[in-house]
Structure 1
């Protein structure tokens, strides 16, 4: 027994200075390593003591730090041969007898080491606390933070139930229902609706529509008359079915009777006028249940199906004429009958065309520059009333026609402002709602405007007597002047014949004295005194005289001496 520790010490020498073998590449480890396979059992019986194999086992994971955290079950088995190769040189020094008991003690001592060296499931091996990694071993990797998985989206939710489910109409085989979309649809949207029906007193609900419908109105068809149906509507989306919206009471599949009623359009309540060749398409709606029987007549007789086409439905009747003619005019009556009830409506269709010309036109009278015309109504009024006439005239010299009057309502007219000496012809057109007649009726004879002799007598005028005695229209005021400064006397006179002007000084005629200048310009008379002296002062008079009379006007002229200052003297 004392000799047993010797081989252990010899085997431990390589641990102090172990050779640095090349680390074998580590295989990728799967996510989960089975814990039931201990690494010590994989070593063969001739292997060196487990205590010596432990460093090699620790070096193997340290040589591959990038390996995944989870290793497969055969990873310790691969590490065992590496431990055998490391302990092979020391094995010959120990005797064979001492190897077996030493192996048992080493296995007992290595058990806790193996337990410590074996990494936990999903973790990489790490050196013991307080120990530095062995020489040639890589440092342990830092722990990686665990990444949290994203929160899964909430599951889709169904919509709320449809709203305001009701019955629109019921026939003997169908039921028409309608509803409004759900108040809450959600972000998952709406795929459509399923309509389910069940007979009253049963819970056997069946889908009436094979595919989802998007419309909020549905016609449940092919039902048996007399059945009572419970009806409900379910909204569908990725979240599944919504709560059903059901009718409060069952629906009896039976035609509901209604009295017939024709709704005649407003434009047919008066005479309906169209032109020849026009297309006529009239739709007249009506109501009544069950589907009413519709019949048509024209003026009390059945319709001619070659001329008029009628197509009836459950709601209206279509009256169609492809190309109308005048013979299509008349009173059309429509009858709608349901059992013993019926309703009738009629309208008047009038097909018109252009009228013919007036029957005759004649010249009734001619006087001065005027012509009176008369005419009669046309024989063909175009199947409608005549609305007016158009009158035209033509001068026989040029032959060009000119319109005189349009839309004239009477059958006689007076044409005025004609040119004297010319001859005229006249023609008249008839008018109705379709337009003016294509032809006109012309007068047989021409109306000639005769020339009449005119004696010109010039008007007599009484000559005006412009004779007038002289008369001064302005006064001649007194004047004053200074010695050496020219003075001028003015006045105005009127008279016919032109009066003779005479100037006087102190009742003496001035005459042709060069000191005075006398001017008479269109009744404005003046006397200019050139550089008067002190002796030129006095009373001046102007006398106007003609064959009818004489008139005189006077004024006083004062001539002053200039004031001389003593210094100037």
Structure 2
């Protein structure tokens, strides 16, 4: 009868684990199963009390990519150490099974995924070997946690570039004001500020002008000694350190400036100064400044050609003189006056112009009726100024004289009208700018001939108006009274077409050629003059007007009175 096996003692680690309180459940991380590996055959231990033997599951150490126990120095006890014949206790493990086998490739991959070797050692220490395990429950699939990503190291801070355009803004006997522009390249680290340093000429002892950095682009340095000659530099500072210094071009003498230099440009020269070719140019530009400023001139950024341009300077002005202007004298003339480190600049734009060349070509496009169509191209040389128009002229081949038909014309094509039938014409065109028209012209090669065509003129027909009208008295005769022996007249007016014939009647009797009566008719005014009427000349007088259209009559009564003399006169 076999003897009863001795009870297996629990390890201290397991006792501590049983006494410790269970930790709060944590969210299960994503489970990643290790790829199946062909493990070497392991002799399974006999089952205890009908329980199945614990499967050879992968240990957490193997799941985390830890090398096999034999490589880590924690190899499992061989199966021979366990008694094969004796039945194990129920609480004892099935057998001292070897640790799960991890292929070399997986082990190397696990080693590569771990941050370092110390991390793998710590993982091996946290998970005990198989001989320390007393529970017979099957192990769950290994849980793999992704290692944290390594943080990218930040780029090292880089200093900025040097400040730009360091210059003197103000100066007196005890202070100096410097201004500058920010560096061209600042970088991602930004800009903390500027430090200004100065030193005397001939020394290398740079002194900071301020205790703290300044963010402004201007600084006044106080408490300087009159007569010193100072070098000044500006340094930009950021987390990357100090930049290259931006320095003044020349050292600055510390003294008072009596009057800053200033150019007083005349108003007429502030805009573009236009002169004709061959003209004399004499420009006087006054300026201010004490002591006497140093005057310099540049043309288009280069020194002047003294053979073409003369400069005369005095204490108060500078004169630019050109004896005979040419097209090449056009450009931007820059004047500069300087007193120590103070400077003032001004520019004059000089434009030398002349008449343009003739248009490139001119052609006769078409001619019809009394019209001719023309086209031409602009001149190659516009005289250094814009073209303001064109002048078109025509010439009759019979006379050969030229006449202007278009002036100050802006287009490059035109139609000439009102040409004479039967004549032939040629045309020419001149270009024009603010100086004048071109000396030569472009002439058409073709001739515009206005052909004669048969034209029959038929005057319009108008129906003559019938002005015939029957006689009509516009002013009738009026009754009259006459005195015996005094001549009297009877008047009336009549109209009619054709002119009516006038007859006078007395008591319905036609008055003939009796010398006592005088008949007058003028412009429709009819008059009957009765010379020295007697007692028997009274009665009814009638005027009758006749023409082919009809007749009209008008009558009046004439009464002849006697003169009664008083008895005394008898």
What TM-score range do you get, normalising by the shorter chain? 0.3 to 0.5
TM-score (norm 1): 0.46
TM-score (norm 2): 0.46
